[in-house]
Structure 1
Amino acid sequence: MKKLLPFLFSFSGVFIFSQQIESFETILNDKISIRALEVDADKVWYSGTDSKLGFVNVKNVKDQKQIKLSEDKLQFRTLAQDKDSLYAVNIESPAYFFKIDKKNLKYQRVFTDMSKAAFYDAFHFVNKKLAFAFSDTDDNRLKLTMYKDGQWSFFENKIKLNPGEAAFAASNTNIASTRKYLWVATGGKSSRILRLNFKSEEIKIFNTPFIQGESSQGMYSIDFYDDKFGIAVGGDYTKQAANINNIATTNDGGETWQVQASGQNAGYTTCVKIKPNSKGKEIISVGDQHISYSSDFGKTWKKISDEKGFFVCKWMDENTVVFAGKDKISVMKLKF
């Protein structure tokens, strides 16, 4: 049974940055690991372990519902949405793509990937007619499942990944897009940016100065404010305190990257999100061991909480961020 445990300012470390934190409240407690969030008006949608998917209303936490998409204990680390529906795909093989009606939570399977190597790291809607899901593959090729104009298919391309190059299903955020581009971040023994131009359908690949070379290293999360400015975070999940070459920004759409705050940040980071309407200046990030904030385009960072167990974050508005992870969803109100 789910239990609500609302409380304010009880997270350790929150007073480090308390002049900007108005409140920090847990709105959902459950036995679940959550690595994917979507926000629709006042509802926070989530997917996670044990085939669970649900929502909680931030303004009325009693307004919540949870379902199981399968009798099997599937693990979901992806979630995407259009106006009327949610979409999720599990990480195991076979990979089942589910479509869930937001109004009544009725669901159906709409696509299946039978590949033995199927492991979906992120699912992302570019617009209401176009979406991409990124999966591991057994032949070092770039594997994107595409939803376009109501049809599901594998996106045809000739891109080969480097040996040991893969991705991380850490927070459903190693894909980002604008109207012009789609970016995919890889990690492992090679950590690169793949950029798809929607108009030309050309994919370009760019090297990064990110920490890489081991299967646990590389970019875990990216976000772009526009066609030019973007940020990437990550590190090494086996060395959570390591903070060298684990944050980088770009000002040319991902072609070149500049390492930021190397040796001067809170370490391994699983999710990064740019504040709406900030032009990229204000950014929040989260890792298993911290929540951090930047107010200068990612150049410097302040740890605002030592709270552990969050994997993913998402802005609800310019003053509100929702976090999720191990057994909980929490909401932070910020003052500026």
Structure 2
Amino acid sequence: MKTMNKSGTDMRKWIQHTLRLLDRTVSVGLWLVGGWVFTIVFLFASYNIPSSSMKPTLFPGDYILADKTYLGARIFNLQASIEHKPFKIYRVWGRNQLKAGDITIFNYPYPQTRDSIGFDILSYYVKRCVGLPGDSLSIDEGYYQINGHPLTVFPSAVCHLHDSLHQVFTTGEKRIKGVSINAYPKQKEIGWTTINFGPFYIPRKGDYITISRQHFLLYRTLIEWETGQKLIWHEDGAYLNEKKLVAYHFQENYYFMAGDNVFDSVDSRYWGLLPESYIAGKAVRIWQSKNRFTGDMNWDRVWKRIE
């Protein structure tokens, strides 16, 4: 009997020890999962570059880190975003403001149609911010200008691409395969192209803008997104929810995004302005880079700073 009691006691001790070990393991696992979730939501997240739209700065196969503390992390109803239901995006405190030249990760604002702003949690673009709220942006024969002055935030390799674009459409071929001439808002009344564009005023939060015919064409999708109502043009002016709209008070900051590869980038030249709440973070480092054909690591690009 003593042997059986001892055996039973040992078994109970073993079970208790196993349960304590399991409890600790689960606790550590939960802390690790919680830390990982906290990191990707509030601090840093990784994104893959699938296309050549940001060459020569970023290449297909690059994996980049986005700093979410720069503007501040976003908090929103994930389930509502997945189901494409209305939801609000809130932003926690950020340590800086976006600057011209910053390479930015954001949700593409037109995942379903170019006629209205939408949100797809899985649809991310990476572009360089070239126009800030309150700026007046234009493109003169392929060269970007802000408030009437040349934009100087591009690396030299990107400037060479702008020179090439200028040459192609001014002294060389007027059309080349793969390049669309017509630009946002793709209306004959405005007639902007990818090489002669603007001036396009970029609204900032609190701005009042009179709703002329041109402003109706330029800002209709923004106003409809902010109000959730349809903006229609009649002979005597614009009407929002059947009420005449003479001026509009913007509720959000907006930005103009451009791809470094001006020959092959679907950017703000084609689809318009980006709401600030769609910005996920600023690209800071290439933490991994693989050759997309061979799978080999591009070691010379690993941990390269993004500028």
Q: TM-score, normalised by structure 1?
A: 0.20
Larger Rg: 2
Where is the helix percentage greater, Structure 1 or Structure 2? 2
Where is the strand percentage greater, Structure 1 or Structure 2? 1
